[in-house]
Structure 1
Amino acid sequence: MITEVSAVNFRQNLGEMINQVQYRNDSIIINKDGKPVAALVDAELFARIRRMRDRFDQLSERIAAAYADAPQEEGLAEIDTAVARQRKR
Structure 2
Amino acid sequence: MITQVSAVNFRQNLGEMLNQVQYRNDSIVIHKDGKPVAALVDAELFARIRRMRERFDALSGRIAAAYADVPMEQGLAEIDAAVAAERKQP
TM-score (norm 1): 0.96
Moved over 6 A (4+): none
Structure-2 residue corresponding to 1:61: 61
Alignment of 1:2-21 (within 5 A): 2-21=2-21
State the identity %: 84
Kindly tell me the number of residue pairs found equivalent between the two proteins.
89
Alignment of 1:50-89 (within 5 A): 50-89=50-89
What is the rounded CA distance, in whole Å, between the counterparts of 2:40 and 2:73 in structure 1? 42
Structure-1 residue corresponding to 2:44: 44
Unaligned runs of 5+ in 2: none
| TM-align CA RMSD | 0.7
Q: Do residues 33 (structure 1) and 33 (structure 2) align?
A: yes
Unaligned runs of 5+ in 1: none
